[in-house]
Every structure is written in structure tokens, then in C-alpha cells.
Chain A
Amino acid sequence: DVKVTQSSRYLVKRTGEKVFLECVQDMDHENMFWYRQDPGLGLRLIYFSYDVKMKEKGDIPEGYSVSREKKERFSLILESASTNQTSMYLCASTGPTADTQYFGPGTRLTVL
């Protein structure tokens, strides 16, 4: 069975802290995505990776960075967390045809 896991379901951090969100997929997928989900705004793409060490900015990359050192793992980094980064963060992956996305359970991040 396909599986995408995220390191935390809930996370509370303070303003200015460095935050790491990790995502692991076991499907040998090339493509991995980080989205944030906010009410009424749907999903917005933060970053996309199409291969190890390769990344592409999405629609809202400001304040975020990513790392993909291994094919199965894609990390999202908030260098200095701010209250406007309080959100649900979703990781997803797709295979070479890049159609169906498989999502992790999400991390609900609160920045105080």
C-alpha cells in the first residue's frame, strides 16, 4: 500500500524558531511537493522537487526552503518561523507520469 508519512501531526513553535518538517514516501517517486492549506484558499504549492537535490519554487516560497538529499525524503524548512506561517502543511508525491498525487496526513503548525 502506498504510503507518505510526515514527521509530526501537530507542532507548536515560537516566532523566530527554525522549524523542520519532514516527509518520507515509500513508492520510489521522483516528484515530491510541499503545500500549505488555509481555509478558503485551497492548497498552495510552496516547493516542488523532481529529483534528488533538484527543487523548483512554487507559488509561495518566501520564508521557506527545502532539502532533498535522498529520493524518499523531502524536508521543508522554516528558517525563522512567523505567525503568518501558522497553517496545515501537506506533503505529496507522484511517479513518472506525474498525475495522481499521494498525500501525507499533514502537519498542523502553530507559530506563537
Chain B
Amino acid sequence: AQSVAQPEDQVNVAEGNPLTVKCTYSVSGNPYLFWYVQYPNRGLQFLLKYITGDNLVKGSYGFEAEFNKSQTSFHLKKPSALVSDSALYFCAVRDRGSSASKIIFGSGTRLSIRP
């Protein structure tokens, strides 16, 4: 069975510091991995994805994530946080061989950047 875990409900970072939002997953085959961001009272917006190829994926707003197969992780990172990065972040996974409906979302991590 597929699963995805975001072990931290909340991450607090000072502006200008690096940030990491953690995600680990479990799939039976090869994964598609995604990060989405949700700003207050908005729908989810796509940030980045790993499908195949380079393990380091760069996305919108200066975010990046590294696919680590041995640790089954896909942590979201940014070298220097901005107050405007404060939002709710969701990791998602789908087994490459599965139906489009079989995407699983994590429970979300609330990122708070203090000035």
C-alpha cells in the first residue's frame, strides 16, 4: 500500500535562514513525487515534482527537493526563507504504475517564517 508521511505539523524558521520540510513515502514500485503549497483560503498550487532523472528537482519560488531512494524521502528545501513562504505544504506520492486516482497526500506541514 502507498503512504506518505509529513512528520512535522509545523515548522518555524526565521527569515533569511534555510528551511526544510520533511516528507517520507512508501510505494511498491517507482514513485512520482510532488510538493504543493496552499496559501490561506486558496486551493493548492503545484511547486515541483520528481518523475525521473536528476534527483535534485528545482521548482517555483526558489524551492527545491531531493529524491532519496534509499531513505525513501523527498524533503522540500529553500536556502533562504521569506515571510511570504508562510503557508501549508503538502507532499504527495503516486506509484508510477498505478491509476491517476491513486495519488496520496500527506497531512500537511504548516510553515511559519518570522521576520
Q: Is the CB of A48 within 8 A of B100?
A: yes
Query: Is B43 touching A90 in the complex (CB atoms < 8 A)?
Result: yes
The one of A33, A42, A98 in contact with B106, judged by C-beta atoms closer than 8 angstroms, is A42
Instruction: Determine the distance from Cα of A106 to Cα of B90 in the docked complex, in whole angstroms.
Output: 16
When A40-B9, A99-B51 are in contact, do A31 and B100 touch as well, CB less than 8 Å?
yes
Q: A83 in the interface, Cβ–Cβ < 8 Å?
A: no
Q: Are B101 and A56 in contact (CB under 8 A)?
A: yes
The answer to whether B43 and A104 touch across the interface, beta carbons within 8 angstroms, is: yes
- Does A102 have its Cβ within 8 Å of any Cβ on chain B? yes
Find A58's partner among B43, B44, B101, B108 (CB 8 Å cutoff): B101
Taking the closest CB of chain A, its distance from the CB of B50, in whole angstroms, is: 10
Chain B residues whose CB sits within 8 angstroms of the CB of A100 once the complex forms: 34, 46, 49
Q: Verify B101–A41 contact, CB threshold 8 A.
A: no
Interface residues as binary, A43-72 with B (CB distance below 8 Å gives 1, 0 otherwise)? 101001010000010100000000000000
Summarize B's interface: helix, strand, loop or mixed: mixed
Identity of the chain B residue whose Cβ is nearest the Cβ of A40 in the assembled complex: B107
Contact assessment for A42 and B107 in the assembled complex, using a CB-CB cutoff below 8 Å = yes
Chain B CB within 8 A of A25 CB: no
For window 51-76 of chain B, which residues contact chain A by CB distance below 8 Å? 51
The interface residues of chain B lying within 8 Å CB-to-CB of A45 are 101, 103
* Distance A42 CA – B23 CA, assembled complex (angstroms): 13
**A65-B101 Cα distance, complex, nearest whole Å:** 16
Question: What A residues does B36 contact at CB under 8 A?
Answer: 101, 103
Assembly CA distance A103 to B90 (angstroms): 13
CA distance A97 to B107 in the complex (A): 25
The answer to whether B43 touches A94 (Cβ under 8 A) is: no
Docked pose: A35 CA to B103 CA in angstroms: 11
Which A residues are CB-close (under 8 A) to B99?
A: 50, 56, 98
Interface residues of B in 65-106 (CB under 8 A from A): 90, 94, 99-101, 103, 105-106
A103–B99 alpha-carbon span in the complex (Å): 19
What's the nearest-Cβ distance from chain A to residue B100, in Å? 3
User: Can you offer 10 A-B residue contacts whose CB atoms are under 8 A?
Assistant: A35-B105, A40-B108, A41-B107, A50-B99, A103-B44, A103-B45, A105-B42, A106-B41, A106-B42, A106-B43
